[in-house]
């Protein structure tokens, strides 16, 4: 902004330093007026938003409590297995996707980063916990029914995703949340953290697709009890569509993550802007 | 570079314009010396590289000729089906991956973009042709053996990838290779082209993983003729490892594509640098 003001002044006015000072003061006044109007207008909206957040929290807590009760009643049956796709998709795709785009919400950029860091870490921890419980669901079901574990490509890819996710969470916590973590380590870790984050989501999507595909071939055999997958009964169309939606969701999240202009402005950039401003004032 | 020179001069010297001119001349001289030394030293290496390229081309042409002969002898059998995973992986993952990172090779940045554009388009066309032939292999095999087509999630995701790839190639050809394509259309198309390129690779990887997984469950049934997939016989370990390598390859390509500092400098950026240089000379 400061640099734009300087360029405008250079084009139109001979007394550049005076022009820059006047234009900068005017800009600050306009910003304060805008802030006052937005506070007055948005107050009722904020109260309504608080209510929505409260209702959503209550519903989510109820879901969590019911989920814990169900998990406590696990008996290794097919009903227990059903928790595997539900929890893995909710954890490794949906919550993971929401958690990963927290820093891409523009209205948070002017605010302190810490609350958003905590939200990011919290959502990711919840996603990790859900996916670990989802793994317990399938291991318990396999062990009860003497089915071998971890032989399919689906399980190799899925387990790799969960292990990398756990390592990523621990490294992220140590690097970005512990206050004594050195700045040089944070700078080194960040691009790797961002890349591994996107890679884990890609692995999760691949695991989901292969898992849904595998399950449909397992259960829709076209015998006396079930329709054949190749006849595309409604449950097959439903599960295939779920797979397509998972891929679409993953691609949208990856698009948001890789768009440079949607990234939270970094301290480095602010420092550069400050230095440019300082240079211009010195000139 | 020009701006850095200016900042250095501002810090150390009072006669800024003279200092900038001297330093810029010195930089140009150093660059020319570097170019001369590199040409003299790299000449023998280039001759050897030309020989390697020639041998590689001959081998590739032989492979292509043998492939065409094999395809001409297709009879709808299981051997025909085997071409499906080979051609899809070669086309949609390997060649697609190589084709997509053509612009990320730094030594090409100083050269004209057109030959690299043609190489990008050529590799992508070859990848598209191979994947279409790969689709023909599976459709022919299914039709001969009265197996329904396009019911599994694997086929939905894979076919979506090929259709999007074909559309992407046509749009890319119309937008970036036809000389009368307007600059505004190119600017609009480019970020979408880059994003869709990465998305197609993600879809291809998901389709490969689900396809390998599905095929292993089909053929390793643990009956009189085959081992059981759950016992992880050598062919299962081999195919699972291939799946893991495909995912790793895809993630490395996506990493190369999304790294901003590995992107070919664009005319826009050159124009900006030129404008900044011009401004500095005017000051």
Q: Is B161 on the interface with A (CB under 8 A)?
A: no
Nearest partner of B200 among B222, B175, B171, B229, judged by Cα: B171
Give CA–CA dist B16/A146, Å, rounded: 81
Q: How far is B215 from chain A (nearest CA, A)?
A: 10
Alpha helices of B73-176 — where are they, by DSSP H? 78-88, 96-100, 114-144, 153-172
Q: How far is B31 from chain A (nearest CA, A)?
A: 28
CB atoms under 10 Å from CB of B228, counted, come to 14
Give CA–CA dist B25/B45, Å, rounded: 31
Cβ separation A206–B247 shorter than 8 A: yes
- Closest chain A CA to residue B11: A279
Q: Is B3 on the interface with A (CB under 8 A)?
A: no
Q: Is B255 on the interface with A (CB under 8 A)?
A: yes
Give CA–CA dist B137/B33, Å, rounded: 56
CA dihedral A199→A82→B211→A230, nearest 10 degrees, is: -150
Size of interface A-B (CB pairs under 8 A): 123
Q: How far is B126 from chain A (nearest CA, A)?
A: 25
Cβ separation B243–A153 shorter than 8 A: yes
Q: What pLDDT sits at residue A13?
A: 63
CA distances from B144 to A134, A222, B80, B82 (A): 41, 21, 11, 15
Chain B neighbors of A209, CB-CB under 8 A: 153-154, 157, 206-207, 209-210
Sign of CA pseudo-dihedral A23, A24, A29, A31: positive
Give CA–CA dist A154/A204, Å, rounded: 10
For the cut 50, the answer to whether the pLDDT of residue B179 exceeds it is yes
Q: What pLDDT sits at residue B90?
A: 96
Pair of tokens at residue A248 = 């679409």
Cβ separation B156–A239 shorter than 8 A: no
Q: What pLDDT sits at residue A193?
A: 96
Q: Is B87 on the interface with A (CB under 8 A)?
A: no
Confidence of residue A269 (pLDDT cuts 50, 70, 90): very low
Chain A neighbors of B10, CB-CB under 8 A: 279
Confidence of residue A111 (pLDDT cuts 50, 70, 90): confident
**Which conformational region is residue A197 in: left (phi greater than 0), alpha (psi within -120 to 50 degrees), or beta?**
alpha
Cβ separation B214–A216 shorter than 8 A: no
For the cut 70, the answer to whether the pLDDT of residue B229 exceeds it is yes
- Closest chain B CA to residue A216: B152
Q: Looking at the DSSP assignment, which residues form a beta bridge with residue B221?
A: B228
pLDDT above 90 covers a percentage of chain B that reads 58
Q: What pLDDT sits at residue A170?
A: 97
Chain B neighbors of A217, CB-CB under 8 A: 152, 214, 217-218
Query: Chain centroid to CA A65: how far?
Result: 23
The tens digit of pLDDT for each residue in B42-91 reads: 666 777 778 888 898 899 889 888 888 888 888 888 889 999 999 999 99
Q: What pLDDT sits at residue B96?
A: 97
Among the partner-chain residues B203, B212, B231, the one whose CB lies closest to the CB of A247 is B203
Pair of tokens at residue A46 = 């904020």
Mean pLDDT for all residues in chain A: 86
Q: What pLDDT sits at residue B66?
A: 85
Length, in residues, of chain A:
283
Residue with tokens 């500095």: B280
Show me where the domains of chain A are located.
1-73, 77-282
Q: What pLDDT sits at residue A71?
A: 83
The CATH code of the domain at B77-282 is 1.20.120.1770
Residue with tokens 């009368």: B180
Q: Is A210 on the interface with B (CB under 8 A)?
A: yes
Cβ separation A199–B251 shorter than 8 A: yes
Chain B neighbors of A138, CB-CB under 8 A: none
Cβ separation A198–B157 shorter than 8 A: no
Q: Is B93 on the interface with A (CB under 8 A)?
A: no
- Closest chain B CA to residue A232: B151
Nearest partner of B138 among B189, B188, B87, B182, judged by Cα: B87
- The ipTM value here is 0.76
The tens digit of pLDDT for each residue in B131-176 reads: 999 999 999 999 999 999 999 999 999 999 999 999 999 999 999 9
Q: Compute the average pLDDT of residues B223-243.
A: 93
Cβ separation B239–A153 shorter than 8 A: yes
Pair of tokens at residue A144 = 């009860």
- Closest chain B CA to residue A245: B157
For the cut 50, the answer to whether the pLDDT of residue B97 exceeds it is yes
């Amino acid at each position: 902004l400061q640099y734009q003001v300087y360029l405008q002044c250079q084009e139109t006015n001979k007394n550049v330093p005076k022009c820059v000072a006047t234009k900068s003061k005017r800009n600050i006044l306009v910003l304060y007026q805008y802030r006052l109007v937005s506070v007055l207008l948005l107050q009722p909206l904020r109260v309504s938003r608080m209510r929505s957040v409260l209702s959503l929290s209550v519903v989510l807590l109820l879901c969590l409590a019911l989920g814990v009760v169900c998990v406590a009643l696990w008996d290794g049956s097919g009903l227990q297995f059903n928790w595997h796709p539900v929890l893995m998709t909710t954890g490794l795709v949906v919550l993971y996707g929401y958690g990963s785009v927290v820093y891409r919400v523009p209205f948070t950029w002017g605010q302190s980063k810490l609350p958003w860091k905590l939200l990011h870490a919290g959502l990711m921890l919840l996603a990790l916990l859900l996916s670990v419980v989802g793994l317990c669901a399938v291991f318990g079901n396999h062990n009860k029914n003497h089915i071998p574990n971890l032989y399919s490509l689906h399980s190799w890819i899925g387990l790799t995703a969960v292990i990398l996710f756990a390592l990523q969470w621990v490294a992220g916590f140590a690097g970005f949340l512990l206050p004594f973590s050195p700045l040089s380590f944070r700078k080194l870790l960040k691009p790797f953290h961002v890349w591994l984050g996107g890679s884990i989501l890609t692995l999760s999507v691949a695991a989901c697709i292969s898992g849904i595909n595998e399950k449909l071939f397992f259960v829709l055999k076209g015998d006396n009890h079930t329709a054949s997958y190749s006849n595309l009964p409604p449950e097959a169309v439903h599960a295939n569509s779920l797979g397509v939606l998972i891929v679409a969701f993953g691609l949208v999240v990856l698009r948001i993550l890789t768009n440079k202009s949607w990234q939270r402005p970094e301290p480095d950039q602010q420092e550069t802007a400050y230095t440019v401003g300082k240079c211009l004032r010195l000139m």
